[in-house]
Homo-oligomer: A and B are copies of this chain.
Amino acid sequence: MEKADIIIRADYVLPMEDDMAVIRDGAVAVKGANIAGVGAFDEVIKEFTSEKIVGGKGKVVFPGLINTHTHAAMVYFRGLADDIPLMEWLQNHIWPAEGKWLTEDFVNDAVELACLEMFKAGVTTYCDMYFYQGAAGRKLEKIGMRGVLGAGIIDFPFTGYASSVDDYFVNAENHINNFKGSELVFPCIAPHATYTCGPDNYKRADKLSEKYNVPIHTHLAETQFEVSETQRHYGKTPVEYLESLGVLSERMSAAHCVWLTDNEIELLAKRRVGVSHCIESNLKLASGIAPLPKMLKAGVKAAFGTDGAASNNDLNILGEMATAAKVHKAVSGDPTVVDSKTALLMATRWGAEILGLGDKTGSIKKGKLADLVIAGLQEPHLTPLYDIYSHITYCLRPSDVETVVVNGKIVVDNKRPLTIDEEAVMARAREWQEKIKS
């Protein structure tokens, strides 16, 4: 009999492996940071014993949700400006606010609020593009969140962070070295977009990504403006342009990918670039609706991203799943696309895969890291229950998330965060709010 640190029991366990098994009265044994066993409860307890058994009747367990694109620290700008055109939003509100407030302290404080929100909504890994990722990484190690933290690269200086292009790369390389071997923080290099990053910087970022074998994360083909700018400068559409630079690879995940030609979809599939589908942000900023069903059909691997809370306005992957599963049906005229199983695959295993963490997390499999969500199924809006996948995609809400495990540690225990001082984080957020709105 092997001793496990935690045994999680639930009416439904959804490993999200290829067979899409639904284990009724199932269990997951967690030992250290890893999943030691998964199967029917009766079988698991033949192999494992534990002093800590959590979960129980009326619960479902699924892999921790993965937010493949955000700017976590922008949570402090949530709802600062809405319902206005993108360039007005950026130029008159977001960029001035960033110019005025964005410091290491800001990131340190804001990231904790973002993680608190994400933990409570069942997110166990997120991929970020921003600055001061050292502060973010130290915070994540402290509170136990998993992150793929992309050090932003742009062509122009950003006061306090980088006075030259070289500075961005120095910061990025230091960031990579600082978190070498971290179990939670996976450094990444993040050239911003084709209209803010020249060809040399994309190539240099790709080289750095190759040298250290770290992911590369970028915005891509988000708006029609971006497409026309890229065409004007380089005579190519964004994906074709990056292909011409030779930087499309399996190491890359690209956020948005709204405006794509059929050829570009083929390129993304062929080069195995992962796509972070940020539907709610794209809708709200009127950027457009990405051709997700077409991408999936072409073999592009896609997952969900919330984008920053300044644009969305929350960090809720369950919401992205429901929105995407619904919107693409109407847009394509086909009610069978983005079905409930596909939505949960995108939110879990495929998310891990596009971030280069496919062998580590994203499904409930012996040997993988224990990143898990236990949710309750007993609320009126989840009753009756005929199909568990349908309920998770169309009905489950962040408030149904009860217990969250990251790297084998319980970070939310029956809705109570264990690694974050919620009251302090909220008080700090309100202090920043008073400064920012003044």
Contacts and interface: CB of A to CB of B under 8 A. Distances in A.
Interface of A: 76, 78-80, 82-86, 89, 113, 116-117, 120-121, 280, 282-289, 312-316, 319, 322-323, 325-327, 329-336, 339-340, 378-381, 383-387, 390-391, 394-395, 397-399, 422, 425-426, 429-430, 432-433, 436-437
DSSP class of A's interface residues: helix, strand, loop or mixed? helix
Contacts of A330: 282-284, 286-289
A386 B433 contact: yes
A209 to B, nearest CB: 32
Given A280-B326, A313-B390, A336 B83 contact: yes
Tell me how many chains of this kind the complex includes.
Answer: 2
A381 B422 CA distance: 12
B399 A398 contact: yes
Nearest to A258: B330
B336 A385 contact: no
4 closest residue pairs by CB, A with B: A399-B399, A384-B433, A283-B326, A83-B339
Nearest to A86: B335
Nearest to A328: B283
A391 B326 contact: no
A78 B332 contact: no
Contacts of A378: 426
B329 A116 contact: no
A383 B429 contact: yes
A384 B335 contact: no
Given A336-B85, A340-B82, A380 B116 contact: yes
B335 A83 contact: yes
Nearest to A113: B380
A435 to B, nearest CB: 10
Contacts of A289: 330-331
A151 to B, nearest CB: 26
A402 B205 CA distance: 49
Contacts of A121: 381
B383 A283 contact: no
Given A82-B390, A280-B326, A397-B398, 10 more contacts: A79-B394, A83-B325, A83-B390, A286-B335, A314-B381, A315-B381, A323-B326, A383-B433, A384-B437, A386-B433
A84 B430 CA distance: 46
Contacts of A391: 79, 313
Q: Which of A316, A334, A387 has the most CB of B within 10 A?
A: A387
Contacts of A426: 378, 380, 383
Nearest to A316: B381
A84 B340 CA distance: 11
Nearest to A389: B82
Q: Which of A282, A287, A323, A378 has the most CB of B within 10 A?
A: A323
Contacts of A381: 117, 120-121, 314-316, 398
27 contacts: A78-B395, A79-B391, A79-B394, A83-B339, A86-B335, A89-B335, A116-B380, A117-B380, A120-B379, A280-B326, A282-B330, A283-B327, A284-B329, A285-B329, A285-B335, A286-B334, A289-B330, A313-B391, A315-B381, A319-B322, A381-B398, A383-B433, A384-B433, A384-B436, A386-B433, A386-B436, A386-B437
